[in-house]
Structure 1
Amino acid sequence: MSIRVLMFGWEFPPHIAGGLGTASYGLTKGLAKHGVKVMFVMPKAGGDEDQSVVKIINASDVEMMSEYSTLDEYWQNVNFMEIGSNLVPYLDPETFERTVTETIKTGEHSEHIVFRNKFQFSGKYGSNLMEEVARYAMVAGTIAAQQDFDIIHAHDWLTYSAGIVAKKVSGKPLVIHVHATEFDRSGENVNPQVFDIEKRGMEAADRVITVSNLIRNIVINRYGINPDKVVTVHNAVDFQTREDIEVDRGVKEKVVTFLGRITFQKGPEYFIEAANKVLKRYPNVRFVMAGSGDLFNRSVRRVAQLKIATKFHFTGFLRGDDVQKMFSYSDVYVMPSVSEPFGISPLEAMRAGVPTIISKQSGVAEVLKHSIKVDYWDVDALADAIYGLLTYPALGKMAGKEGLDEVNQLKWENAALKVENVYKDVLGM
């Protein structure tokens, strides 16, 4: 008997703003290979989603049954408020900054269109996000009453409320998937509303899946969740096989790359200080910082202050093929994140055969053996690691080769098998 899953997500390729949609897609494809049937509910479907392995339910098409909106006093307590722009789910490097800027630029209006009792979701991360999150949960009650399934799976805080309502309506068990917590997104300045939704979701869930042990510890210690119900399933990465990109670098020096949001969380200042130390010992190198973010101007000023601007380049935000090109230009890739729930970009670098240095404070450090790991704050260790990879070509070559073999093992199919085992455990199969 195959397990039928009612899965709630906020985005699904091709219309994605970040890593959450990519992870949802990878996981559903992996589950399909194990015979698990997934109905994937999203606020607003574009109609061009790949439905070969998953059935997409567009919440904007669902007529709400009004009696479900009074499910629980919980709904009377939902305050629709304007929310801060930092409430964005698990995003890949860079996108956060862009999403927020675009929202401010376009000044998203919070008008909503209601047809009878259908609600047209924008499916974006605009100023009326909290209202959409609450209405999505109400629609979830209707969907749960209409569909046949064995278990509910909700991704990220935006859909936890939907999962809770679906569980109440159907009596079926709930698994929630924590891709990042409010502590990862906002440091210590947590948004109390989001924290509250996350905590309710974790408490109501029969199992909590976290993308790393780093996040698992936060769930247990910061949210007070029983360790017995929190399971780590590391993310994976699916790569399209691509031709090796032939590139003419135009520079003879070695290239060391940082690719990510230029924000506190990603540790750009440690990269700059390490670059300064390396250049004193090994001048035949250029450092590249690819990305944009709130520390961009400060970073440019610091590079000028250190007088290394001729050897240090800022590219701004890169997307798609430009990211692949940047990897093919690079001799070393560095991810000195202060806090990183998982971190896909080192895997992409390794896939391109580039030796990587990552912070011990990242979830991905738990699964990579052939990446050099340093504490994000230890600028000397970071500089030594960069220097070592630049001056000993054999070391870089081996790290690149072993890393490529290793990253090819991190398949969504394997992650999905672990998720299926979580389902079976909850269902007592």
Structure 2
Amino acid sequence: MKVLMFGWEFPPHISGGLGTACYGLVKGMAYHKQDLIFVVPKLWGDEDPLAEFVNASDVEIDYRERRFKSIWKNLTYLEVSSFLIPYLSPEEYSNYTEKMLRDHEEMESSVLSNKFTFSGKYGKDLIMEVSRYALVAAQIAKSKKHDLIHAHDWLSFPAGIAAKSISGKPLVAHVHATEFDRSGQTVNQRVYDIEKAGMEAADKIIAVSQLTKNTIVSRYGIPEEKVVVVHNAVLDTSIIKSKDEKKVPEKIVTFLGRITFQKGPEYFVEAANKVLKKDENVRFVMAGSGDLLNPMIQRVAELRIGTKFHFTGFLKGDDVDKMFAISDVYVMPSVSEPFGISPLEAVRHNTPVIISKQSGVAEVLQNAVKVDFWDIDAMADAIFGLLHYNGISKMFRELGREELKKLKWEHVASKIITIYQQTVKK
């Protein structure tokens, strides 16, 4: 079976957990010798050659063929037109608007026959790139033989829909996070609509946790039987014995992730303040970047704990490993975390973890301290206990190591291959 898979990023050039999860899954698929075509908006040339990679920026599209007309019309909900206009010449713009008035009866090659250069990032032109990516996906689906389509998250759902429209092959939508996880109740309606369209078009949906499945069913109106839960894993289950040592005498408590609403950074700051009132021999580290970074810096200043609180900015690669290695406790206070791989990485570094009950990883990591994200008193008590009672810390480290051995990506890939087989047979 040949699978056409659409992602948004791939290591070593990643901005978040989605790229890491895709890498783990592709690596697991390679272990099972699954025939895989992996498409990303932009390739950098230094990706691990685990699959047949396709760089969307290298694909030339030509939508003069009649079979592509429906793809173009279906993408209008993405407001493709409004985002493409600034990139057209005056002549192309004139042709384009004229065709819009005639419901796209004919498409001029000057408008739609070219290559798009993708940044592969999460910038201000994200929706535009998602739209263009879908257009390119249709061309790829036409030219690449495949038996099934697999699309990761809303960024790739329009691509998956477009590919399915061209090839008629079944679509598996992989939900790593929903707009409710990212934004709470004030969702971006456009993103929600894209997510819902992808889920409705999919023949099967993979959710990374039961928590995520519940959201898909209750918030998007998807039939429960259409959604299957497959938890994420870690790239390597071996325990890391790092030689990195702390340069400070204090204990270190770490938050590592995007500094956004979803990750609950404000609760970490408030818990830190409570711990420091009991014990000043602790340093807190917030590693990451995001839209709440400045508010968090301001809050730390207001609480007058700046000498014991450090902001590192975005970390990746070896710097992440070093941060885990020198940490005495890792905290993930996420408000809504579909899964959350970082606690598993912390366990690999022998670091005891505190995770929110509102996280998918809590479903698989039993030997961790679990608190409600909003309960800063419980969070502070848990931090204080792990820092001061070595017996408790040792117990969680030892039991966590045993749990980790079960969470391998080849096991995840095996489950997903079975889902592929069942979906194709329908």
Moved more, 226-235 or 184-193: 184-193
5+ residue gaps, structure 2: 90-109
Corresponding residue of 1:366: 363
The answer to whether structure 1 residue 118 and structure 2 residue 117 are counterparts is no
Hey, what does 1:70 align to over in structure 2?
69
Q: Find out whether 1:235 has 2:232 as its counterpart.
A: yes
TM-score by length of 2: 0.86
User: In the superposition, relative to structure 1, how do residues 45 and 271 fare at CA in structure 2: closer, same or farther (>3 Å)?
Assistant: closer
Paired with 2:43 and 2:313, the residues of 1 have a C-alpha distance of 31
126-135 vs 388-397, which moves further = 126-135
Question: Which secondary structure state, in structure 1, belongs to the residue aligned with residue 339 of structure 2?
Answer: coil
Per-residue Cα deviation, 1:89-108 (whole angstroms, up to 9, x for no partner) = xxxxxxxxxxxxxxxxxxxx
Judging changes above 3 Å, is the alpha-carbon distance between structure 1 residues 127 and 378 closer, same or farther for their aligned structure 2 residues? closer
Distance in 2, Cα, partners of 1:391 & 1:124 = 42
**Is 376-385 or 185-194 further displaced after alignment?**
185-194
> 1:57-96 maps to which residues of 2 (within 5 A)?
57-66=54-63, 67=65, 68-72=67-71, 73-80=73-80
Partner Cα distance (2:214, 2:185) in 1: 16
Residue aligning to 2:16: 18
Match of 1:161 among 147, 158, 161: 158
Structure 1 residue 77 displacement after superposition: 4.9
Counterpart CA distance in 2 for 1:406 and 1:260 is 23
Task: Identify the range of structure 1 (304-313 vs 333-342) with the bigger mean alpha-carbon deviation.
Answer: 304-313
Q: For 1:206 and 1:174, locate their aligned partners in 2 and report how far apart those are by CA, in whole Å.
A: 5
Once the two structures are superposed, residues 322-344 of structure 1 have per-residue CA deviations (whole angstroms, 9 ceiling, x without a partner) of: 22222122111111111112112
SS at match of 1:402: helix
Q: Distance in 2 between matches of 1:210 and 1:115?
A: 38
The alpha-carbon deviation at position 175 of structure 1 amounts to: 0.5
Call closer, same or farther: CA 1:359–1:81 in 2, change over 3 Å.
farther
Q: Residue 60 of structure 2: SS of its match in structure 1?
A: coil
Q: 1:121 to 1:283 in 2, by over 3 A?
A: same
Counterpart in the other structure of 1:326 = 323
Counterpart in 2 of 1:214? 211
- How do 1:158-307 residues align onto structure 2 when only pairs under 5 Å count? 158-239=155-236, 244-307=241-304
Hey, what's the Cα distance between the residues in 2 that align with 1:416 and 1:388?
38
Q: For residue 12 of structure 2, what is the amino acid of its counterpart? A: P
Question: C-alpha distance in 1, partners of 2:351/2:203?
Answer: 41
CA–CA distance in structure 2, aligned partners of residues 276 and 135 of structure 1:
46
Q: 1:353 to 1:112 in 2, by over 3 A?
A: farther
Alignment of 1:385-396 (within 5 A): 385-396=382-393
When residues 58 and 249 of structure 1 are mapped into structure 2, their CA distance, relative to the original with a 3 A threshold, is: closer
Q: Is the 8 A contact 2:237 2:348 kept in 1?
A: no
Give the counterpart letter for 2:275 in structure 1.
Answer: V
- SS of the residue aligned with 1:358? strand
What secondary structure does 2:316 align onto? Answer: coil
Code of the residue aligned with 2:423 in structure 1: it is: V
Distance 1:428 1:286, change over 3 A: same
Q: Residue 416 of structure 1: which of 405, 413, 416 is its match? A: 413
Return 5+ residue gaps in structure 1 as ranges: 84-108
- For residue 7 of structure 1, the aligned residue among 5, 8, 15 is 5
Contact (CA 8 Å) 1:60, 1:118: kept in 2 or not? no
In terms of fraction of residues, the more helix-rich structure is: 2
CA RMSD of aligned residues (A): 2.6
What is the SS of the residue equivalent to 2:266?
helix
Deviation at 1:79, TM superposition (A): 1.6
Establish whether residue 401 from structure 1 lines up as the match of residue 398 from structure 2: yes
Q: How many residues align?
A: 401
The 1:142/1:291 distance shift into structure 2, 3 A limit, reads closer
Q: Is the 8 A contact 2:182 2:261 kept in 1?
A: no
